[in-house]
Structure 1
């Protein structure tokens, strides 16, 4: 077998443009109760053919979960190539569609000081192509890209030394070369190939802990995906680097500098965390983004995009034996290499309350968060239940109290597992004040609701309602192949096995009112609390 299928497909495609959106998650993925139950039960439904009417009646206990887990085991195949790259394949033959997700176990927390934003930058550049894809003539393009990088270094030096005459000349030369290089680019050729083959959902996202690349194809395009995906991570070319830097800087301006809530979130995590890299924004700091070079991105890629740091999920109408055969041909080309080990400094225990205030032209917001353990902690399910009880939907305690009864807030939300959940993180609550009320009003009301969890056992009825709501949510948002691929990989990478998705479901079913009260008493203390107040500033 050879690798000519991609060349064959490229010759058949036309020049139509395909627009894909780069998805940046300021609020990364978290295995909160609602998503967990939906996804796990969706696996049961899609794999077993259980009707939605039957699914809503299912009580997630050990006796009921085990048969479904056993069935998933039968339909799921795992294998690892000699170079260390792992595949998880889940067969679903109901429709001739396959979803693919490449999960790189690297995100914002793996970046070095002064190089923040490089993981997200790399995600953008991963769509720019290879030596064969995305270029009219790579032999002509390569020296231009090398010259641009050299000129960029010279421009930085001229700026630092105040050599304005040299700077103007260098910048003129840079713009000329960049224009020449751009003429050799085939814009969005990866997207064109995917679109012309019937693919949908080409996208990616970067979080604190992971970078995910995903799209879906008709079942008969399995080998095309193998060829395309393996090549873009085997032989990438980070073209249009400086153009993309401007895009990312504008993205930061829109999402952070020009967004009061964006500034608030960035300040909050910087206050809540003192040493752990969770404190840094995934998109990076403005100065760091400006100073990133192609060399920085390449070094990051070489360090973390290695076979034993990648896991791929393939869910849909596929045959595992065929997947394994093609994976060995295409992804077996990757040379084995150990990933770099990022130095993650543990966050010390918070011993005193922290508080800050921002004044910006916005309606006032109130943020309040508490440190909690990571996803592998025995009480992880209890924290998810607490987050759901307080802030999951219109029947949650915060919404009913702060929004409906007291009219103190226009909105009240929360998230358990912020800004990531692989390491000890935060359970966070935030609310938007109603006209005529203050953030201090919200602080008092929120404090009362939290105190109730510490002093009053949650009723069995309320606890059951939370679980029932999650199961009912399944009827409205049955996850796709891609949703299942997402959660299988989240648990595979973060906990060591995708089977822990089902174990977590069991743990949720086992949570008692006493567990909630015990964890609330330990967590919701004054010394463990971080508060952020976003106040209105005229003009």
Structure 2
């Protein structure tokens, strides 16, 4: 049997060989650590570059250190809504006549905000009086004026112009995403079109225009209905997460609460943008067929002109220690499902690396412990997975295990089997063979994530933003390799406990409740 030390040495040699090939196919090239060129603008923006000349293309990842954790009570969903609005264009892109359009948008924002306020007040008054809401003449007038302004504003809109510009110049993969911790904007395009990217994105950072605001707010609300309200898994995880985090903003859905979404205003969205989307809160990773000196000059000429935003407000609220198991049931007309979460430290903490090992041991691959037990051998579950940093990494988070029972087995059977495997982690040292599999799996994951230009750009920008340095992607592997069987036992015994546990269960609505409801209607 190979020793643990031997397994680590072998894995490290394999990984080192791959990471050294920062330019695929060129043996003996400098290591990735030597190939990343870092440049910081005077306004605080960080630029990371890696040359890869195999094809005349470049991938760009712009990551802002803003997400759901930065929102305030009553304004949840702002980060996600702004991500949508960012594609609506600028003073130059997406409009036929910005000066005339802006006057209409100002009127629309004023009328829309007043209409929202009046509608909420009248709905609340009707509910308090036990009456059916009836629109007052004032609200009806506001609605008519709102519709007129919406139509007028639409006359100036050039729909999807930014995306079409990228498309006409060979851009692919244009996308964006918002999470708890970060917001990302990505694109891959021909290397000689990088100046187009710099012009468009610096303009978007400096002069975004919140056109079609109310239309897009409605789109987000419909997205919430589809992905959460009408989705069994979406509702399970939203309820489970808000149960696990009762103080910290991680407990609030990134898409926002429905009532908050419907009350978001252009003014609040613009204020949020000015606070969090300045160059001093942005990291840009550029990987591909580039000349770093030319790229730096291009970035300085475009983004360098944008003044830094005020210092980013610090996150204050901390989740207090959990002092007892929390359980929540969600009724839905769907098959049962289970989510179990344990509070754990955040990125960079020594015990966080131990959870990377635990994650691999339990659910990564067909030979992992939980997959073997629940899915392959006993056939208790149709699926099982785990997540070692849910729902974010900038603050203490959860280690989550999720499973779907396989009929006729119950959630209780699956949950019991999971706890039995967790107890094994506390009492039985992980074998050298398992450690070898874990490290090989983690090395393979890392290699895959760095192989493509877009993957490498994503990793660099992500860790620069959440860990403070892109070098974390390299140092983490060595920290994981230093984990011992004793570390796993200690961490499992310390964190994977009942008082530290939150359990969410998706249960089918009882048939007798359905029959009773049918009977009442029939009678």
TM-score (norm 2): 0.89
Q: Does 2:232 correspond to 1:260?
A: yes
Measured in 1, the distance between the counterparts of 2:251 and 2:43 equals 34
Measured in 2, the distance between the counterparts of 1:287 and 1:38 equals 52
Unaligned ranges ≥5, structure 1: 1-36, 52-66
Conserved? CA contact 1:101–1:212, under 8 Å: yes
Against the structure 1 CA distance between its residues 50 and 469, is the aligned structure 2 distance closer, same or farther, given a 3 Å change threshold? farther
Tell me what 2:47 maps to.
Answer: 87
Measured in 1, the distance between the counterparts of 2:117 and 2:345 equals 45
Tell me what 1:415 maps to.
Answer: 387
Tell me how far 1:158 sits from its aligned partner. Answer: 2.9
Measured in 2, the distance between the counterparts of 1:312 and 1:297 equals 23
Unaligned ranges ≥5, structure 2: 1-12, 123-134, 515-523
Measured in 1, the distance between the counterparts of 2:121 and 2:290 equals 59
SS at match of 2:157: coil
- Measured against aligned partners, the alpha-carbon deviations of 1:47-79 in whole angstroms (never above 9, x if no partner) come to 36368xxxxxxxxxxxxxxx98x6224322111
Tell me what 2:462 maps to.
Answer: 490
Measured in 1, the distance between the counterparts of 2:314 and 2:18 equals 35
SS at match of 1:83: coil
Pairing 1:184-263 to 2, within 5 Å after superposition: 184-263=156-235
Tell me what 2:266 maps to.
Answer: 294
Against the structure 1 CA distance between its residues 49 and 515, is the aligned structure 2 distance closer, same or farther, given a 3 Å change threshold? farther
Conserved? CA contact 1:42–1:474, under 8 Å: no
Q: How many residues are aligned here?
A: 487
SS at match of 1:468: helix
Against the structure 1 CA distance between its residues 261 and 39, is the aligned structure 2 distance closer, same or farther, given a 3 Å change threshold? farther
Conserved? CA contact 1:305–1:339, under 8 Å: no
Match of 1:98 among 51, 58, 68: 58
Against the structure 1 CA distance between its residues 466 and 419, is the aligned structure 2 distance closer, same or farther, given a 3 Å change threshold? same
Tell me what 2:508 maps to.
Answer: 536
Conserved? CA contact 2:342–2:398, under 8 Å: yes
TM-score (norm 1): 0.87
Measured in 2, the distance between the counterparts of 1:529 and 1:399 equals 21
Q: Does 2:325 correspond to 1:353?
A: yes
RMSD over aligned CA atoms reads: 2.0
Match of 1:45 among 11, 21, 26: 21
Measured in 2, the distance between the counterparts of 1:376 and 1:161 equals 47
Against the structure 1 CA distance between its residues 475 and 152, is the aligned structure 2 distance closer, same or farther, given a 3 Å change threshold? closer
Conserved? CA contact 1:39–1:483, under 8 Å: no
Measured in 2, the distance between the counterparts of 1:124 and 1:42 equals 37
Measured in 2, the distance between the counterparts of 1:473 and 1:86 equals 26
Conserved? CA contact 1:38–1:478, under 8 Å: no
Measured in 1, the distance between the counterparts of 2:284 and 2:14 equals 22
Conserved? CA contact 1:39–1:484, under 8 Å: no
Measured in 2, the distance between the counterparts of 1:259 and 1:323 equals 44
